C-alpha cells in the first residue's frame, strides 16, 4: 500500500551505482518469504528504497572525500630544466615519492616519480638498484645526474580537479601507476598533490553520521 509514484529513473540506473547489487524480483521475494508475516510493499518499492538508501550511505561514507580537501598544498614542484641531481634532494626534503613538473605558470607538464628517477639511473626498482649497489659500487650511471627532469618525467600526467570525489579519484588512480597525482585549480594551475595513502585513509566505511 505504499505509493507507486516513485521515480523510475534512479531504479533503472541502479546497476551503475558504485557497489550496488542488481537485485532481481526473485531475490526480493525470496527475502520477503523469509520474513514471517505480510509485508505490504512491492518489489519495486523495495528496490527504490534500497537504491536511495544506498546512495545516502555512500554520501555518508564518502562525504569527506574530495581532492581539494585531501591534497597536500605545500608542494614545491619541479621544472623541466632542473637536472636530476637537483631534483633528487627535493624529493627527500619534501618527503614525497613523486613531484609534479610545471611550467612557468604552474601548469603541470608531467610528474617525476621515484620509478622515473630509478629508470633514469638504469634500474627498474629500488631493490634492483640496491642489488647492484651491493654487487658493484659503480653501478649508478653518474652521467645521468645532469639530465634534465623534463627528459625523465612521466608525461602527460593524470591529474584531477579540486572537487574530484570518490569515483573520479578511483578512476584516476586506476589510470595512473604513481603514488600521487597533481590536483589542479579551475584555471589549470597546480593546487596541490594528492597522495594515494591519504586518499585511502579517508575511506572510512565505519563512519557514522
Q: Which three cell numbers stand for residue 134?
A: 651491493
Least distance in Å: CB of 7 to another protein?
A: 13
Least distance in Å: CB of 50 to another protein?
A: 13
Least distance in Å: CB of 39 to another protein?
A: 5
Site residues for another protein per CB under 8 A = 1, 25, 28-29, 32-33, 36-44, 47
Distance CA 114, CA 178 (A): 9
| Nearest C-alpha neighbor of 155 from the set 116, 120, 190 | 116
Q: Which is nearer to another protein, 37 or 209 (CB)?
A: 37
Helices and strands of the chain, counted as H and E runs: 10, 5
Q: Which is nearer to another protein, 29 or 130 (CB)?
A: 29
Q: Which is nearer to another protein, 24 or 125 (CB)?
A: 24
Least distance in Å: CB of 25 to another protein?
A: 5
Q: Which is nearer to another protein, 47 or 51 (CB)?
A: 47
Element (H, E) at 135: helix 126-135
* Residues 44, 49, 52: CA angle, nearest 5 degrees: 125
Amino acid at each position: 500500500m505504499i505509493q507507486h509514484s516513485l521515480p523510475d529513473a534512479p531504479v533503472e540506473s541502479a546497476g551503475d551505482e558504485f557497489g550496488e547489487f542488481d537485485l532481481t524480483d526473485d531475490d526480493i521475494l525470496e527475502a520477503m518469504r523469509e520474513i514471517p508475516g505480510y509485508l505490504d510493499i512491492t518489489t519495486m518499492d523495495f528496490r527504490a528504497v534500497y537504491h536511495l538508501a544506498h546512495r545516502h550511505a555512500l554520501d555518508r561514507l564518502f562525504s569527506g572525500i574530495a581532492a581539494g580537501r585531501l591534497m597536500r598544498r605545500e608542494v614545491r614542484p619541479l621544472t623541466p630544466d632542473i637536472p636530476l641531481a637537483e631534483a633528487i634532494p627535493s624529493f627527500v626534503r619534501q618527503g614525497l615519492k613523486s613531484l609534479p613538473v610545471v611550467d612557468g605558470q604552474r601548469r603541470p607538464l608531467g610528474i617525476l616519480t621515484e620509478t622515473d628517477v630509478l629508470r633514469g639511473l638504469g634500474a627498474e626498482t629500488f631493490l634492483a638498484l640496491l642489488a647492484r649497489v651491493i654487487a658493484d659500487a659503480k653501478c649508478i650511471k653518474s652521467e645521468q645526474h645532469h639530465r634534465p627532469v623534463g627528459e625523465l618525467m612521466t608525461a602527460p600526467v593524470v591529474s584531477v580537479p579540486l572537487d574530484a570525489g570518490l569515483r573520479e579519484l578511483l578512476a584516476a588512480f586506476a589510470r595512473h601507476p604513481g603514488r600521487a597525482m597533481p590536483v589542479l585549480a579551475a584555471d589549470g594551475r597546480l593546487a596541490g598533490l594528492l597522495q594515494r595513502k591519504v586518499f585511502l585513509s579517508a575511506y572510512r566505511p565505519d563512519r557514522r553520521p
